[in-house]
C-alpha cells in the first residue's frame, strides 16, 4: 500500500487527493495542514466580507470529503523539511513522516516590502486567509477609513468586500494602473473608473513611504490618515522547504507538465510552483485557483502511478467588481496583433501572434468566453477557424465542422 503525503491543505491539495483516488483507492493519504480548517475557497474571503457567502458555504468540498477519500488530515502542523533521500518529511512537532510519493502544496504568503514605521501601525492585516478576513472584519467599523496597499486582484477584491462596511476606502499602488498584472492601460482605466464610481479612492503611481501610527506618507508627499491598513502588495511562493531539500526553485518550485519537481517522488502543485505558460512560452508563477486544482489533480494521478499531464496551462482570470466583470487569459506578447472592439460599457481585446490567439482581455460582456480560452489552450491555428466571425462573438459555428461534430455528436 502506497503512502502519500501532501504538505498543505488548499485547493491543490484537494486536487491531489482527488487525483490520487482516481487512480488508487487503497493507498494512505496524509495531509499536513497548517491552517485549522478543512479546505476552503481562499478567493471567497472577500465575498465573505461582502456577505455573499459564509464560513460554511466557503468549504471547497463536502464535510465528508476527507472521510470519503480516506485522507488523514493533521491540522495545525507545519512541515519543516524534506529528506528526499530517506523519503520522509520533518514536522514542527518533532515528528517525521515517511512517504512513497510527496506533493508540496505550500501555497504562497503575503509579500510585505520593508516600509518605514510599519511597526507603528496597530491595525494592519494581510488578506490571504480566513483568519485574515475574520481579523479584518473584527477591526473595521462603519466609521473606519481603510487604506489598502496594492491595487491588484487581492487589494481590489478586499476593497469590494469592505465596501459598505466602512466609511472610506483608499487604494494605493506603485503601478500607474489598477490590476496591472492582468490589464493594460485602457482596460484598467475602465475598471478604475467603475471602481471610483462606486466610491473607491485611488492613489496610483505612488505607494506608502512611511507610516506613523494611523498616518501614511506617500511617495508623492501626500498624507493619508487611516484606521485600518490592508497589505496586499503581492505574494511570494512558499518554496523554502523544497529549496532546502535541494530542489530546483526559481520564483516558485519548478515543476514539469507532470507536476514533478526535480527531487525523486516529490511533486508540487499550486501557488508555490512555477511552470510553463504555453501562451507566452515561458515559465512563470501563475498563482490561480483553477490551475492549482489541475496541477494538484495531475500530481495526484502521477503519484498513484497513472499518467497525467497538465501541459496547456495559461494564466487566466475572471474577476468582477460591483457588477462589472472582466475576463483575461493568456498573454499579450510584444509585437502581437490586436483586434479591438469597445464602447462605453465594454472592451474586447484579442491578441494574435503567429496565427494563433494568445490572449484576450474582455470587460463588460462575458458571454461564452471559454471558447476563446480554448483557442489559446488548444493552440488552434486561426487558419482552421472563421476568425472573422469569432472576433464578433465566441461561437462553435466558427470552428471546424469536424470539431463541432466531435463536440456535439458524442461524449467529450
| Interface positions with other proteins (CB under 8 A) | 15, 41, 43-44, 47, 52-53, 57-61, 289-290, 293-294, 297, 316-320, 323, 325, 327, 329, 366-371, 373-374, 377-378, 386, 389, 394-398, 401, 404, 407-412
Cα–Cα separations (whole angstroms), residue 377 to 193, 310, 371, 373, 395: 31, 11, 10, 6, 16
> Min. distance of Cβ 323 from other proteins in angstroms?
7
Rounded CA-CA distance 356/376 in Å is 7
> Min. distance of Cβ 402 from other proteins in angstroms?
13
Comparison of 202 and 293: residue with beta carbon closer to other proteins = 293
Comparison of 38 and 247: residue with beta carbon closer to other proteins = 38
Rounded CA-CA distance 307/386 in Å is 35
Q: Is the distance from CB of 54 to CB of 12 less than 8 angstroms?
A: no
Cα–Cα separations (whole angstroms), residue 116 to 47, 96, 178, 217, 233: 32, 40, 24, 10, 15
Rounded CA-CA distance 204/212 in Å is 21
What is residue 323's DSSP assignment? T
Comparison of 140 and 289: residue with beta carbon closer to other proteins = 289
> Min. distance of Cβ 65 from other proteins in angstroms?
9
Comparison of 89 and 319: residue with beta carbon closer to other proteins = 319
Rounded CA-CA distance 204/201 in Å is 10
Q: Is the distance from CB of 129 to CB of 295 less than 8 angstroms?
A: no
> Min. distance of Cβ 410 from other proteins in angstroms?
6
Comparison of 197 and 397: residue with beta carbon closer to other proteins = 397
Comparison of 124 and 349: residue with beta carbon closer to other proteins = 349
> Min. distance of Cβ 407 from other proteins in angstroms?
6
CA-closest candidate to residue 18, choices 61, 76, 59, 73: 61
Comparison of 157 and 276: residue with beta carbon closer to other proteins = 157
> Min. distance of Cβ 328 from other proteins in angstroms?
9
- Give alpha helix (H) positions in 128-262: 130-139, 153-162, 185-197, 240-244
> Min. distance of Cβ 207 from other proteins in angstroms?
28
Amino acid at each position: 500500500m502506497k503512502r502519500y503525503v501532501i504538505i498543505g491543505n488548499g485547493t491543490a491539495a484537494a486536487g491531489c487527493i482527488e487525483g490520487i483516488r482516481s487512480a488508487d483507492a487503497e493507498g494512505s493519504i496524509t495531509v499536513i495542514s497548517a491552517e485549522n480548517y478543512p479546505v476552503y475557497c481562499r478567493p471567497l474571503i472577500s465575498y465573505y466580507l461582502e456577505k455573499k457567502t459564509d464560513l460554511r458555504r466557503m468549504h471547497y468540498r463536502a464535510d465528508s470529503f476527507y472521510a470519503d477519500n480516506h485522507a488523514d488530515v493533521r491540522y495545525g502542523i507545519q512541515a519543516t523539511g524534506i529528506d528526499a533521500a530517506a523519503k520522509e518529511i520533518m514536522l514542527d512537532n518533532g515528528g517525521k513522516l515517511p512517504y512513497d510519493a510527496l506533493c508540496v502544496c505550500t501555497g504562497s504568503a503575503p509579500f510585505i516590502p520593508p516600509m518605514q514605521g510599519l511597526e507603528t501601525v496597530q491595525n494592519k492585516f494581510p488578506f490571504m486567509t480566513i483568519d485574515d478576513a475574520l481579523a479584518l472584519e473584527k477591526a473595521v467599523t462603519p466609521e473606519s477609513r481603510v487604506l489598502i496597499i496594492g491595487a491588484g486582484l487581492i487589494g481590489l477584491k478586499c476593497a469590494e468586500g469592505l465596501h459598505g462596511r466602512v466609511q472610506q476606502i483608499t487604494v494605493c499602488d506603485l503601478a500607474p494602473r489598477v490590476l496591472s498584472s492582468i490589464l493594460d492601460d485602457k482596460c484598467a482605466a475602465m475598471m478604475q473608473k467603475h471602481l471610483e464610481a462606486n466610491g473607491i479612492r485611488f492613489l496610483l503611481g505612488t505607494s506608502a513611504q512611511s507610516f506613523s501610527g494611523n498616518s501614511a506618507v506617500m511617495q508623492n508627499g501626500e498624507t493619508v490618515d487611516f484606521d485600518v491598513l490592508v497589505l496586499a502588495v503581492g505574494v511570494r511562493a512558499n518554496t523554502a522547504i523544497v529549496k532546502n531539500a535541494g530542489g530546483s526553485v526559481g520564483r516558485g518550485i519548478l515543476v514539469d507538465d507532470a507536476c514533478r519537481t526535480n527531487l525523486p517522488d516529490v511533486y508540487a502543485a499550486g501557488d508555490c510552483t512555477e511552470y510553463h505558460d504555453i501562451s507566452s512560452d515561458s515559465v512563470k508563477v501563475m498563482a490561480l485557483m483553477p490551475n492549482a486544482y489541475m496541477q494538484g489533480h495531475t500530481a495526484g494521478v502521477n503519484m498513484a502511478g497513472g499518467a497525467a499531464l497538465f501541459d496547456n496551462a495559461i494564466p487566466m482570470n475572471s474577476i468582477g467588481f460591483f457588477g462589472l466583470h472582466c475576463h483575461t487569459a493568456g498573454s499579450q506578447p510584444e509585437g502581437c496583433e490586436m483586434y479591438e472592439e469597445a464602447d462605453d460599457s465594454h472592451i474586447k481585446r484579442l491578441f494574435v501572434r503567429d496565427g494563433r490567439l494568445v490572449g484576450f482581455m474582455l470587460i463588460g460582456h462575458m458571454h461564452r468566453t471559454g471558447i476563446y480560452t480554448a483557442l489559446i489552450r488548444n493552440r488552434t491555428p486561426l487558419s482552421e477557424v472563421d476568425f472573422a466571425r469569432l472576433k464578433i462573438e465566441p461561437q462553435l459555428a466558427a470552428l471546424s465542422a469536424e470539431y463541432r461534430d466531435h463536440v456535439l455528436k458524442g461524449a467529450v
